[in-house]
Amino acid sequence: MMSQSSFDRLSVALSIVAALLIGAAVIALSGTNPLLAYGEMVEGALTGSGLRNTTARMIPIVGMGLALSIPFRAGVINLGGEGQMVLGGLAGTLCAIYLPGPPALVMAASIVAGAVAGAFWAFLAAAGQIWLKLPILISSLLLAYPARAITSYLVRFPFADPTVTSSSTVPVPDANRIPKLPLFGGVSASLVLLAFFLVAIAIFNQRTVAGYETRMTGLNSRFSRYGGVGVDRQVVWVMLASGAIAGVIGTHLVVGETYRFLDGDLVASGFAWTGLLVTLLASHRPLPLLAAGAFFSALQIGGLAMQRNVNVPWQIALVVQAVVIVVLAGRFVLSRRQRAQPEEIPMAEGELTVTGEV
């Protein structure tokens, strides 16, 4: 008998193969040899500067995935990662630009500022649910718009760099930038932060009492409440943690990558949404999340190389990504159906719920 997890792994592999085959068909239709194109993709993603770019892209994708995985695992749907990331990013950037002092301290302060701003924005969404009874799913999403507007205003007016035509801040002074590690020809030291988040979350989930309680709330919040868990307080904590990590990632994207906060830049990246997909695919578990994030990063970077070298539009990479998602999502629905049946049998006795059949 196959265990659930080996079944999972097999079907993940199968859906990736299926997606690559569909991608190959599309490439062939556009008149290019798919093997050639894929070769370029792999080479572009995993060799030379490609490896650096893939790793660099992994930081925000996995980072946002981790940020969102914390509330999701507790059954709290934070769709406002983007707003939290953008506001955190601006707060961190402004600190890095304007705060006087020794660079190491300024850098630390800017990361903390990013975390605080992101956490604050996430807290507003939690407060909306607890005091205004507005579901976090909605309040967090709605709060993304004012976050954009506020940052947009700030970088266009009070903090605009008058010497450039685009609306952006002045660049972060060289000394205050997050340094590059001597890895793959220069990956941001934020990678260390990412590793720290990953390990901390894995330990929290597996080993701590609060990690246990959040998982139970995610499985059945009435059960948690019944067991004496302060579910409202828990909502606040998971949102604070989520927003803080999102804010740090936003800070990294400027202070460790682009060095200028350019209006709309962080939003256009779509990292928050890719992160959302990644955590959903990984069922909010940190290690699978890292794997999924690395795969999507490689796909995107490889896609760009493919476009450059064999002139296949890089959207093909997005097609492959989309197919993986659709196939995997289909697998979730399927396996949930298969599991739903034996699960419903024990529910036959004493269950009072009315379940809608779909």
Partner 1 sequence: MSNALELRGISKSFPGVRANDNVDLEVRRGDIHAIVGENGAGKTTLMSILYGLTAPDSGEIVVDGRTVRFNSALDAIAAGLGMVHQAFKLFPTLTVAENVVFRNEPRTGIFLDRAEAAKRVRALGSEYGLMVDPGARIEDLPVGVLQRVEILKALYRDAQVLILDEPTAVLTPQERDNLFVTLRRLKDRGRTVIFITHKLGEVMAVSDRVTVLRGGRAVAHLDTASTSPTEVSRLMTGRNVDLDSRPPPSLLGEAVLSVTDLTVRDDDGLVRVDAVSLEVRSGEILGVAAVAGNGQHELIEAICGLRPADRGSIVVGGREVAAADMAVTRESGLAYIPEDRHRVGTAAGGEVWANLVMGFQRRKRFRRGRFMRRAEVEEHARRIIADYDVRVAGPAVTAATLSGGNLQKLVVGREMSHAAPLLVAEEPTRGVDVGAIEFLHRQLVEYRSQGGGILLLSAELWELLALSSRVVVMYEGRIVAELDPAETDEAELGFFMTGGSR
Ligand X SMILES: Nc1ncnc2c1ncn2[C@@H]1O[C@H](COP(=O)(O)OP(=O)(O)OP(=O)(O)O)[C@@H](O)[C@H]1O
Which residues bind to partner 1, rule: CB under 8 A? 1, 207-213, 215-216, 219-220, 222-230, 341-357
Q: How far is the CB of 225 from partner 1 (least distance, A)?
A: 6
Residue 345 DSSP code: T
CA atoms of 220 and 75, how far apart (whole Å): 8
CA atoms of 263 and 329, how far apart (whole Å): 33
Q: How far is the CB of 238 from partner 1 (least distance, A)?
A: 15
Q: Token digits for 81?
A: 């990662």
Q: Token digits for 310?
A: 């064999």
| Side chain identity at residue 198, one-letter code | L
Tokens 């995997």 correspond to: 328
Q: Which does 227 bind (CB under 5 to 8 A by kind): partner 1, ligand X, none?
A: partner 1
Q: Is the Cβ of residue 174 or residue 349 nearer to ligand X in the bound state?
A: 349
Q: How far is the CB of 139 from partner 1 (least distance, A)?
A: 22
Q: Is the Cβ of residue 35 or residue 203 nearer to partner 1 in the bound state?
A: 203
CA atoms of 249 and 67, how far apart (whole Å): 9
Q: Token digits for 335?
A: 């396996």
Q: Token digits for 327?
A: 């196939």
Q: Is the Cβ of residue 100 or residue 346 nearer to ligand X in the bound state?
A: 346
Q: Please list every residue from 271 through 300 that binds ligand X, using CB under 6 A.
A: none
Q: Which does 22 bind (CB under 5 to 8 A by kind): ligand X, partner 1, none?
A: none
Reference 118, options 161, 78, 155, 73; nearest CA is 78
Q: Which does 319 bind (CB under 5 to 8 A by kind): partner 1, ligand X, none?
A: none
Tokens 């999507």 correspond to: 296
Q: Is the Cβ of residue 165 or residue 353 nearer to partner 1 in the bound state?
A: 353
Q: Which does 225 bind (CB under 5 to 8 A by kind): ligand X, partner 1, none?
A: partner 1
Q: Is the Cβ of residue 133 or residue 207 nearer to partner 1 in the bound state?
A: 207
Q: Token digits for 227?
A: 């067991």
Number of residues that bind ligand X (CB under 6 A): 3
Residue 308: CA count within 13 A, CB half-sphere:
13
Q: Is the Cβ of residue 100 or residue 342 nearer to ligand X in the bound state?
A: 342
CA atoms of 222 and 245, how far apart (whole Å): 28
Q: How far is the CB of 97 from ligand X (least distance, A)?
A: 59
String of DSSP letters for 134-163: --HHHHHHHHHHHHHHHHHHHHHTTT--TT
Q: Is the Cβ of residue 9 or residue 344 nearer to partner 1 in the bound state?
A: 344
CA atoms of 133 and 95, how far apart (whole Å): 35
Q: How far is the CB of 272 from partner 1 (least distance, A)?
A: 27
Q: Is the Cβ of residue 1 or residue 29 nearer to partner 1 in the bound state?
A: 1
250, 89 in Cβ contact below 8 A? yes
Q: Please list every residue from 297 through 356 that binds ligand X, using CB under 6 A.
A: 342, 346, 349
Q: Which does 173 bind (CB under 5 to 8 A by kind): ligand X, partner 1, none?
A: none
Q: Which does 350 bind (CB under 5 to 8 A by kind): ligand X, partner 1, none?
A: partner 1
216, 229 in Cβ contact below 8 A? yes
Q: How far is the CB of 284 from partner 1 (least distance, A)?
A: 13
For the CA atoms of the chain, what is the radius of gyration?
Answer: 22
Q: How far is the CB of 350 from ligand X (least distance, A)?
A: 9
Q: How far is the CB of 237 from partner 1 (least distance, A)?
A: 12
Q: Which does 207 bind (CB under 5 to 8 A by kind): ligand X, partner 1, none?
A: partner 1
218, 74 in Cβ contact below 8 A? yes
Tokens 């579901």 correspond to: 135
Contact residues toward ligand X (CB under 6 A) are 342, 346, 349
